[in-house]
Chain A
């Protein structure tokens, strides 16, 4: 069965610190992989995506993610977070027909 696991419901980091959000998936083939961000009261915005090629992908707002096939993971990273990064982050996986989403990780930023 297809599934997406985001092990951390909440994460708190200090402004300027590095960030890593974890995502593990179960999928029958090499999936398409995505990270979305949702700011309070807003819709979802695509941060980055992977579907082939280089396993380290760059996204908007200084985020990057690395696809590790052997670990079935697609972790999101940012070297230095800003207060404006406080939001909920969703990992998603899928194929040509549909995408399924993880339950999300809410990121809190300490000043």
Chain B
């Protein structure tokens, strides 16, 4: 099993729908992150969490919300999806202390039509 698992792998949904992307990890890491990747823009941070009670906005949090249900689970929600949220979404984890780098999931390709 993968260390960081994202579900679903692919999703097509309609404008205005609510959608949740899920991430779970077996690394035992405290920190979890959500990024979106768009061609030519690299990865941009949406939200991050240092523990269950600590949630922080990233650079592009508008239109998104998150929930840290447990140390191992971190969900990203789009309350009312819009087409410009079509992107590849990655969850990542890290141990305390950023110098160790991140472990990434395989990504969720989300298309809003």
| A residues whose Cβ falls under 8 Å from a Cβ of B | 9, 32, 34, 36, 42-46, 49, 51-52, 90, 94-104
12 additional contacts (CB under 8 A) given A43-B107, A90-B42, A98-B33 = A32-B98, A43-B104, A44-B104, A49-B101, A90-B43, A95-B98, A96-B99, A98-B45, A100-B59, A102-B42, A103-B40, A103-B42
Could you tell me which residues of chain B, from 27 to 75, have a CB within 8 Å of some CB in chain A?
33, 35, 40-45, 48, 50, 56, 58-59
Contact of B98 among A9, A45, A46, A99 (CB under 8 A): A99
Contact of A98 among B90, B98, B103, B104 (CB under 8 A): B98
Counting residue pairs across A and B whose Cβ atoms lie within 8 Å, the total is 58
Contact of A46 among B90, B101, B106 (CB under 8 A): B101
Chain B residues, Cβ within 8 Å of A99 = 98, 101-102
- B91-113 vs A, Cβ < 8 Å mask (1 yes, 0 no): 01000111111111111000000
Chain B residues, Cβ within 8 Å of A102 = 42
Choose among A32, A51, A95, A99 the residue with the greatest number of B CB atoms under 10 Å from its CB.
Answer: A99
Minimum CB distance partner of A51 in chain B: B99
Contact A43 B90 (CB under 8 A): yes
Minimum CB distance partner of B59 in chain A: A100
Question: Complex: how many Å from CA A45 to CA B105?
Answer: 10
Chain A residues, Cβ within 8 Å of B43 = 44, 90, 101
Cβ-closest 10 pairs across A and B: A51-B99, A103-B42, A101-B43, A43-B104, A44-B104, A32-B99, A101-B42, A43-B106, A96-B98, A46-B101
Chain B residues, Cβ within 8 Å of A51 = 99
B108 CB to closest chain A CB (Å) equals: 11
A70 CB to closest chain B CB (Å) equals: 21
Chain A residues, Cβ within 8 Å of B97 = 96
Chain B residues, Cβ within 8 Å of A49 = 99-101
Question: Complex: how many Å from CA A102 to CA B33?
Answer: 17
A33 CB to closest chain B CB (Å) equals: 10
